[in-house]
Structure 1
Amino acid sequence: MSNSRREQKRTSLYGKIQHLRSVTHSTSVNKTSIIVDASKYIEELKDKVERLEESSSHGHEYSLPIEVSVETLKRGFLINVYSDRNCPGLLVSVLEAFDELGLDVLDAKVSCSDNFHLEVVGGENEEQKFGVDAQGVKQAVLEAIKKWSESNNDEQE
């Protein structure tokens, strides 16, 4: 192999190492340290992906594991929303979803201290123009939770 060919390979490798250094935000100077930093960076990214996948498998893409159940009653619905963590502002979001559906809150119990637990009996009000079923109520509550979660994540970043 000629010297110019070897020099081209060395220059190319040097360029790739420097690119790797910049992409991984490495402050190291020698090749071995840059590669070690890159390896750590890749591990951090893998962990981040796993956490994101984990959070999206819980509660339909929400960062908090929140359980929602809806039962049909004779005249309305029994809605339960539970999270093992306190969720400031979630109550307002869920109640706004009820309002958008045309549901009146007939009875409610809420706990927001160490965890979040909402139990609501909601009934259709007279102004409601369309019928709603348990699945529709659950979907609306899940959407409210999603919007609440996204707005809280935006504020924390």
Structure 2
Amino acid sequence: MASRLQKRMTLRRKLHVLKTLTNSKSVKKSSIIFDAFLHIYKLQLKLEAIKRQYLYLMKHIQEVKVEKVGEEFLVRVTCKKGQDVLVSILEAFEEMGLNVLQASVSCNYFLDIEAIVKAQDQGIDVREITQAVHKAIGKQDGEGTQIV
């Protein structure tokens, strides 16, 4: 069995760890424990705020960037995952007469697409491609996104 002195030293060590983790200035054991509970509660509130912000981003993120590189276009799309979003984007490319030369797709938390496309018709510009991709994403979200 551990002696009283060892138990007291163990308790003091644990209270010291609690004081350093929570930046408590208290001296009494009950105050240190209360400060620890308060610190845990504040951390829980911060975690909930981060989760709400993350869920908001997951729901509303949508970014489309199109750059002209020589005769080809570099299309970067980041949006929330949804059923057949990739298919809608590829169908939009096909309707515009764009051939996908190379593509990279990632679908961890968001749908990330990076594609190099080449237009069969030379009259297509960056704005038309951007609008078509936004329209394809908006179709899947059930919203009519307005592009300015």
Give TM-score, length-normalised by structure 2.
0.53
Is 1:67 aligned to residue 63 of structure 2? Answer: yes
Unaligned runs of 5+ in 1: 1-54, 152-157
Match of 1:82 in 2: 78
Q: Is the 8 A contact 1:87 1:115 kept in 2?
A: no
- Of residues 121, 125, 134, the one that matches 1:133 is 125
SS at match of 2:89: helix
- Of residues 90, 93, 98, the one that matches 1:98 is 93
Q: Sequence identity of aligned pairs in percent? A: 37
- Of residues 108, 111, 119, the one that matches 2:106 is 111
Match of 1:21 in 2: none
- 2-side partners of 1:73 and 1:114: how far apart? 28
Q: What is the RMSD of the two structures over their aligned residues, measured on CA atoms?
A: 2.2
- Of residues 125, 135, 148, the one that matches 2:140 is 148
Q: Is the 8 A contact 2:82 2:140 kept in 1?
A: no
Deviation for aligned residue 1:86? 2.5
Q: Which amino acid aligns with 1:120?
A: A
Aligned length: 87
Give TM-score, length-normalised by structure 1.
0.50
Q: Is the 8 A contact 2:92 2:136 kept in 1?
A: yes
Deviation for aligned residue 1:73? 1.1
Structure 1 ranges of 4+ moved more than 3 A: none
Deviation for aligned residue 1:122? 0.5
